[in-house]
Amino acid sequence: KQEVTQIPAALSVPEGENLVLNCSFTDSAIYNLQWFRQDPGKGLTSLLLIQSSQREQTSGRLNASLDKSSGRSTLYIAASQPGDSATYLCAVSNQAGTALIFGKGTTLSVSS
Amino acid sequence: NAGVTQTPKFQVLKTGQSMTLQCAQDMNHNSMYWYRQDPGMGLRLIYYSASEGTTDKGEVPNGYNVSRLNKREFSLRLESAAPSQTSVYFCASILTSGGETQYFGPGTRLLVL
């Protein structure tokens, strides 16, 4: 059974710092991996989608990497801002069109 | 495009009452999903519909039923609500052509007393 783990569960950093969020999964036979952002009381917003054949994806200050063989993904946030404060969720899909399996998230707080 | 919409946004029920959570998407997506999110548990799949006319159980289907009314709409019904069903419910959809991002609705917050 696929399991997704995110470390750390919570992280506090000062504004401007570069940071890395970690995600690991137990079954390397994934179809894709997605990173989401969730603000308090809100829904999920997709940040980056990495196909199983890809190594990384970038969007603005965000960079997500994927190492299937080791069952790991990282989300790198450059020059963090208070507006980045949110919970970040990692999720994997084992087949095309199937439901996502989520980690429990990392709650990020960026102080000004 | 409204994306994925859910109604209601918030609901309070008494134990034993029934209700239906509505979800609709206007992106012509094939597959739709219902998840619940609980503190410390993350998001878990309740039911999904790979295409119009089909539904399948997910990880936590007990106490729920679903209907894929048409390609746009996927409803979740609680026949006899229990306090354990207090949660935030999210609907999601995907095109299912491969490699597509899953889009989520804003959620329905349900409190069962």
Cα–Cα distance measured from residue B18 to residue B31, given in angstroms and rounded to the nearest whole number: 25
User: Does pLDDT of B99 surpass 70?
Assistant: no
Partners of A103 on chain B (C-beta within 8 Å) are 42
Structure tokens at B25: 């998407």
Range B59-64 average pLDDT: 96
Query: What's the mean pLDDT in B15-41?
Result: 94
Backbone angles phi, psi at A7, to 5 degrees: -135, 135
The pLDDT, as a whole number, for residue A99 is 84
Residues in chain B within 8 Å Cβ distance of A102: 42-44
Partners of residue B96 in chain A, C-beta under 8 Å: 96-97
Predicted confidence pLDDT, tens digits, chain A (112 residues): 899 999 999 999 999 999 999 999 999 999 999 999 999 989 999 999 999 999 999 999 999 999 999 999 999 999 999 999 999 999 999 887 778 899 999 999 999 9
At A87 the pLDDT is 97
Given an 8 Å threshold on Cβ–Cβ distance, is B106 in contact with A42? yes
pLDDT at B38 > cutoff 80: yes
More confident residue, B109 or B39: B109
Q: Which of A47, A59, A102 to mutate to test the interface with B (most CBs of B within 10 A)?
A: A102
With residues binned 3-state (H G I as helix, E B as strand, rest as coil), the percentages for chain B, rounded to 5, are 5, 50, 45
Residues 58-87 of B with CB under 8 A from A: 58
Distance from CA of B96 to the nearest CA of A (A): 5
Partner-chain contact B102 A32, CB within 8 Å: no
Query: Can you give the pLDDT at residue A18?
Result: 97
What is the per-residue pLDDT for A41?
87
Instruction: Please indicate if any CB of chain A lies within 8 Å of the CB of B99.
Output: yes
**pLDDT of res. A105:** 96
CA distance B45 to A102: 10
Q: What whole-number distance in Å separates Cα of residue A16 and Cα of residue A81? A: 6
